[in-house]
Chain A
Amino acid sequence: MKLHQTCDGVRRRDMLKLGTLSIGGLTLAGYNKLHAAGKVAPGAAERAIFIELPGGPSHMDTFDLKPNAPDTHRGSFNPISTNVPGIQISEHLPKLAGCMDKFAILRGVSHTLAAHRLGREYVNTGTKPIPALEYPSFAAVMSKEKPSPTEVPDAVAVPKASQGPGFLGIRYSPLETNGQPSFGRPFSVRGISLPGGVGIDEVNRRQSLLNKLDRRFSELEKNDQLLDGLDRFGDQAYSMITSPKARQAFDISQEPESFARQFGEDSFGQSCLLSLRLVESGVRFVTVQLGGWDTHRDNFTKLKDTNLPRLDAGLSGLLNGLEQRGLLESTAIYVTGEFGRTPKINTRTAEGGRDHYPRCMFMLMAGGGVNGGQVIGESDDTASGPRHEGISPDDVAASFYKNLGIDPTLEYNSSTGRPITLVRDGQVIDQLFS
């Protein structure tokens, strides 16, 4: 067991004493004791669903339309009214327009990183990426600060998450499903579902054989944290594998068809449905991805025919579904791509496309303490930049953490003991919560 002393004199061993060997790592109470009070504020949300839109969705064609912009910029989509007077969004998002009261739009969000990977790392951590140190994903922080009860994983990513646990370490990685569920079909996941040909009975038999054979070192176990930890993880793994709870949480085919249908029948909609089932069963953080937004070419056809209908059905289904289950007030939702797209339409193809554009983008927030039905921030006449002071990804991350009851100024120690502020430069956007 290594003992690491950190820059502020907290010893890793002190943390270990409090049980890094427990399933989600150090207990929150223990961490607080070490770091004095005031790290965690009471928050409204107990769980979160993070919807990533990798590729970078066009803001001007979705949630920040400029019908009066010149033809070189405007695009062919028209705005429609929503169920909140005064707020308009794209005509290809009619279902979301119908539940505008449940989410908030952030416009004029702005940063400077126009490469996919860097932009993604930025919006997924709330801190501008630096090569020397990788910041943790929201999911990893949540797993560390608010671990789940044992039978379900702390965090799940459907199918993957683009941001890892960074300096917090692999044990805070989400369980990645690698696949996406299909409408009406059962869904199984690596490690949790039983692989082909091995039934529950077989697992139980093997476990009892293991119990009989695994007895060397039993003398040492009382004193040895490692052996004790291995035993505990073994038991937990066994219960997760054999208990129906975890498997059932993944089995979306158990949902009534009418409920499942409102999410849309494609893989994204059903991933949203899965995310709902997972948070309902105790998973703290679910990441869902919907890709295909990198519309350098044929921007409008792609959005109109594919991406927007999928997003519209999946996200509105999720918001409505959470409300129907009484979970919306305790589930924080954050939707974002890595950047917006150029307001000026490129002419490389007949139809035109839009390129990477971090200076102006949109993000969505809902659930928990977020008041829906509002627009925060504003872009200029051609959606080329924020009209006033822009919102930064740092601000949004700070707000998301606040919504989760995690103090965004919480300080961690990197593996080498450097103190690191969770969100270094972010200010909570108070308007979201008022």
Chain B
Amino acid sequence: MKHLSKRSRFMSAIAAILFFCMAPWLHADPNEPVANRSSSETQPTAKMSVRFANKDTQEVPNFQKHVMPLLGRMGCNGRACHGSFQGRGGFQLSLFGYDFATDHDALLADNTGRVDTDDIDESLILAKPIDADYHEGGKRMDLDSWQYRALRKWIAEGASFEKTDLEELQALKVEPAEMQFTQSKQTAQLKVIAHWKDGSAEDVTDLCRFSSNNDAVAEIDENGLVTSGETGDTHVVVYYDNAVTPVPVLQRITTQLSDQQQSIAKRVSKQPIDQLVKQKLDKLGIVPSGQCTDAEFIRRVSLDITGMMPSADAVKTFLADASADKRQTLVEQLLQSPGYSAWWATRLSDWTGNNEAQLTNVLPVRNVAGKLWFTWMQKRLEDNLPYDKIVEGIVNANTSEAGESYEQFCKNMTEICSGDFDQFADRQSMPYFWARRNFQKPEDRAIGFAYTFLGVRIECAQCHKHPFDQWSKQDFDDFAKLFAPIRAGNANIIQPENRDTRQALLDKITGGKKLDNGELRRQIYSAARDGKVVPFGELLVNTRGMTDQQKKQRAAAKRKGRKLAPVNIPTGKILGAEQELKLDADPRPALMDWLRDPKNPYFAKAIVNRVWDNYFGIGIVNPTDDMNLANPPSNAALLDHLASEFIAHDFDLKWLHREIVLSDTYQRSAETNATNAADVENFSRHMPRRLPAEVVYDMVMLATGSSQKALQMRGELTSMAIADGTTGARGGSQFALEVFGKSIRESNCDCDRSDSPSLLQSIYLRNDQEMFQRIADRNGWVAEVCKDLGVQGPSGSGNSQQALQTRQAEGLRRQVVLRVASLSKQLAKLPESRREPAMERAKLAYRKQTAKLTKVYEVPSFKDLLKNPKSWSELVQKSSSGSLDDGKVASLEGAVQETYLRTLSRYPDDEEVDIAVDYIRESDSPAKGIEGLVWALVNTKEFIISH
């Protein structure tokens, strides 16, 4: 794409996206938008295998069009082979072969013998792939095959390539443009025609690479032969030159529907979401699941909107409510609740990369920057500020407010840092996005910016042409240059005009002494802690336009009629833009304008898709941060609709939430039918997913805490993980949150947050000290129930003192066992007469030693232990008294019910009540029994996943 203007390229990229997204489902003639270009052109040249079938063919292959694609097709430049960053066998090609000049140099490098125009057949690129000369990669082609002939001919004719020879691929046309199979093991052969700018067209099916986005639905072989597999839909992708073309493949599900399913299938919703989802499902023959129950709904929607499970009372009230619009009412309540802004500020913190460890030393008080970042966003979500406005406050951020002097800025920031976070939330800007340590190099910023606001991974293009998208290394470099002028995150950088003010503030702190950097920082930190006004760093935009001096020189030169060389002002380019942006002014407003422009193909889609993913566990484009040509949306019409309506509603986030959660699609049951059991990406059912780390953490606290504690947590939020907003430092102490995969917000990936289960998670919930401690807490839920039942509460086992006592007791047991063991040997050696008295003495000593243990634990008799010291291998607790009289069973049932409501947000069925009550009654004590019940419920799958 070296010659094509950027504008047309950008537009064609959009066209491509729109085409591939919309066409298969909505256009009557899906070929139309691209295909019409070539209709008037000449017939395409035949396939290369046909042209080179003849030994004497005179055609000289072209390096760009034929030689490199051929090598790519044979796998030479794959990552496991010569495309590896180290190369293989001393020979390195650009990954997937987009860097023609470098590859040509590598092939023709002196003294390597790879291409030998004198002794053609000795050229290693001929001898190696036919395995005549030992080739680690094995045989890739046959001697005298068409491939061999083509490569040989190219070498024989001088193995030439000039950079200026590069030609522009205008369109890559694939036939058929979409495939519908009716059963498995059907096949279809793709035919691929390349249309070049000079008007020529060639059948390049022999030269393409092919891949399938889901092998289970459609396999594609190296020749472009598609074979159908299971029912469902996916895309196969064709790669040639710099084109990436996905082709939809679909196989309808043909299952007889039950009456109930038919009625669901016929149900019509007015909601556009439902209609668009249905269009796709109908095409696939999938019938969606029915509606979820009220209990499932209140739990699901509360967790998804507010990150908090509903309280037991809220569940009871909701279930008892008979009004028809109660789901709607609930949604409104949730969107107004503080949990909404807390949870979504956490999600926005994930996507914007709010990471305390990357903000060390940005502010003179530690562990504040991340909190400010979070609070600032929380406030805006609470006020429901439009999404583009929130982003504007981040992208265009300045450290000082308009009209705020440096001194006043420092004064305000000092107040803020000493705890007045709300004051920060009222400021216009949130500049710490730019201040992160891992967001300083222009390239890192290009990657991070695209990740956060566009949901695009351009990092591949940092080293080589993006294999799945149109971005070249040049595009990446041009984009990255835009970020070079911004300087942020250094506490010592300020506007030149503020230097004196800063010095005066410093002098007040240091008493005018000159200190080294470390000491100065310590003194500033300590002054800030004492509430003294300290200097703060500023965000600068170093625009490197003409300096004043240069302007003067120029003016002088003009007067004197002298000529000066033009000032070299750096430039950069917005992704896909044709125009260069001169960096003589802050480039960020232009970036922001581009982001919020309704024509921007990514900005609105990225956030809409991420919000959708929060509700469905999978994005319409999935993964949510990887929008590219080869990764088309599963339902393009749906994504387009949501994005354009979101823009039309002025980026109103609450509109988006409402639109989604009030749809039938969101309110589907998790129960599957024969047609949708395998569906994961068409939203035909609720897909259970493991709840996010912070949510799980809070749920455990809420489920195990007393009613009062839970009420307090819900009211204040401050002790809850969803409202914490920060990340621990690398290797920090938030053990449980880390284990459950809280986002580290570090590597520009939505997968920084993990929802995978792990062994450590299971061990934590089952057997961690913290869990036992919470369940058996003297002020916890179990204690509260015991108090209500009038029985003895939990002993507080699990607290550290108890643990210590247990350890001591265990140590004592071992000592005693060892002693008895050695005693038994000694006794055996004694003469009979002395044995008896010695035993008596030992028995007394034994009783004395074990006196402490007998209170709590079962202790074997001395005689038994003497016979077999190994028999006492573990401390076993004595069963304690405090059993439940029959009169309390009714209230016990109530307690079981309540425990279910506060863990699983539903009433238990009769059988569950029986199991639980039996368990409690058979336990050593009611307290132990209820502890066991709480333990079991938080360890069910039902607790940890969405319903």
**What residues of chain A have their CB less than 8 Å away from a CB belonging to chain B?**
1-5, 7-9, 11, 13-14, 20-21, 23, 35-38, 131-134, 160, 162, 164, 167, 169-171, 173, 175, 185-186, 188, 190-192, 194-203, 205-206, 209-210, 212-214, 216-217, 219-220, 223-224, 226-227, 229-231, 233-234, 236-238, 240-241, 253, 409, 411, 414-419, 421
Contact = CB atoms under 8 A, between A and B. Distances in A.
Nearest to A22: B759
A167 B752 CA distance: 9
A38 B79 CA distance: 13
Contacts of A201: 876
Given A205-B932, A214-B941, A170 B807 contact: no
Given A132-B444, A202-B928, A417-B457, A8 B768 contact: no
Q: Which of B80, B444, B764, B810 is most buried by chain A, counting CB atoms within 10 A of its CB?
A: B80
B501 interface: no
A21 to B, nearest CB: 7
B678 A237 contact: no
B763 A171 contact: no
A230 to B, nearest CB: 5
A425 to B, nearest CB: 11
Given A134-B730, A203-B767, 20 more contacts: A13-B214, A131-B437, A134-B747, A170-B738, A170-B754, A190-B769, A195-B797, A196-B804, A197-B776, A197-B798, A200-B874, A210-B939, A213-B912, A217-B941, A227-B945, A229-B757, A233-B758, A237-B766, A253-B814, A415-B751
Ranked 6 nearest A-B pairs via Cβ: A197-B797, A36-B80, A196-B806, A237-B762, A196-B803, A8-B79
Contacts of B762: 230, 233-234, 236-237
Interface in B710-758: 730-731, 738-739, 741, 746-752, 754, 756-758
Interface stretch (B423-431, B508-516, B669-677): B669-677
18 contacts: A14-B215, A170-B741, A185-B811, A191-B764, A192-B763, A194-B767, A195-B797, A196-B807, A197-B772, A197-B776, A197-B802, A210-B940, A213-B915, A216-B940, A217-B945, A224-B688, A237-B767, A415-B747
B342 interface: no
A206 to B, nearest CB: 5
A359 B203 CA distance: 60
B814 A217 contact: no
A234 B761 CA distance: 9
Contacts of A162: 731
B759 A237 contact: yes
B505 to A, nearest CB: 28
B601 interface: no
Given A227-B688, A230-B945, A186 B810 contact: yes
A209 B930 CA distance: 11
Given A197-B877, A212-B915, A226-B688, A419 B85 contact: yes
Contacts of B874: 199-200
Contacts of B798: 195-198
B409 interface: no
Nearest to A185: B811
Nearest to B920: A209
A358 to B, nearest CB: 19
B937 interface: yes
A294 B457 CA distance: 42
Contacts of B677: 223
B303 to A, nearest CB: 16
Contact of A191 (B741, B768, B933, B945): B768
Interface in B649-688: 670-672, 677-678, 680, 688
A270 B84 CA distance: 45
Interface in B435-478: 437-438, 440, 444, 447, 451, 457, 459-460, 467-468
Given A132-B747, A415-B747, A2 B763 contact: no
Contacts of B638: none
A206 B776 CA distance: 14
B756 A171 contact: yes
B86 interface: yes
Nearest to A1: B680
Contact of B739 (A35, A170, A192, A416): A170
Interface in B775-818: 776, 795, 797-798, 802-807, 810-811, 814
A2 B79 contact: no
B380 interface: no
B618 to A, nearest CB: 7
A238 B769 CA distance: 15
Nearest to B741: A170
B892 interface: no
Interface stretch (B191-199, B255-263, B623-631): B623-631
A423 B781 CA distance: 51
Contacts of A167: 747
B327 to A, nearest CB: 22
A197 B806 contact: yes
A125 B626 CA distance: 28
Interface string B71-109: 000000011110111100000000100000000000000
B747 A214 contact: no
A360 B638 CA distance: 61
Nearest to A253: B814
Contact of A169 (B83, B748, B754): B754
Nearest to B215: A14
B690 interface: yes
B94 to A, nearest CB: 13
Nearest to A223: B677
B748 A199 contact: no
Contacts of A236: 759, 762
Best-surrounded residue of A36, A37, A134, A216 (most CB of chain B within 10 A): A216
A203 B766 CA distance: 9
B688 A234 contact: no
A316 to B, nearest CB: 28
B671 A21 contact: no
Contacts of A160: 731
Nearest to B764: A191
Contacts of A191: 760, 763-764, 767-768
Given A9-B211, A196-B805, A416-B457, A220 B688 contact: yes
A417 B919 contact: no
A164 B731 CA distance: 7
Contacts of A416: 451, 457, 459, 625, 747-749, 751
B211 A230 contact: no
A83 to B, nearest CB: 37
Contacts of A197: 772, 776, 795, 797-798, 802, 806, 877
A418 B738 contact: no
Nearest to A131: B438
B806 to A, nearest CB: 3
B942 interface: yes
Contacts of A417: 457, 460, 626
Interface in B906-947: 912, 915-916, 919, 923, 928, 932-933, 935-937, 939-942, 944-945
B529 interface: no
B759 A23 contact: yes
Interface centre among B690, B762, B874, B945 (most CB of A within 10 A): B762
B432 to A, nearest CB: 15
B540 interface: no
A209 B211 contact: no
Interface in B796-846: 797-798, 802-807, 810-811, 814
| Most chain A CB inside 10 Å of its own CB: which residue of B78, B459, B923, B941 | B941
B330 interface: no
Contact of B757 (A202, A203, A233): A233
Nearest to A216: B942
B739 to A, nearest CB: 6
B277 interface: no
A230 B932 contact: no
A232 B411 CA distance: 56
B875 interface: yes
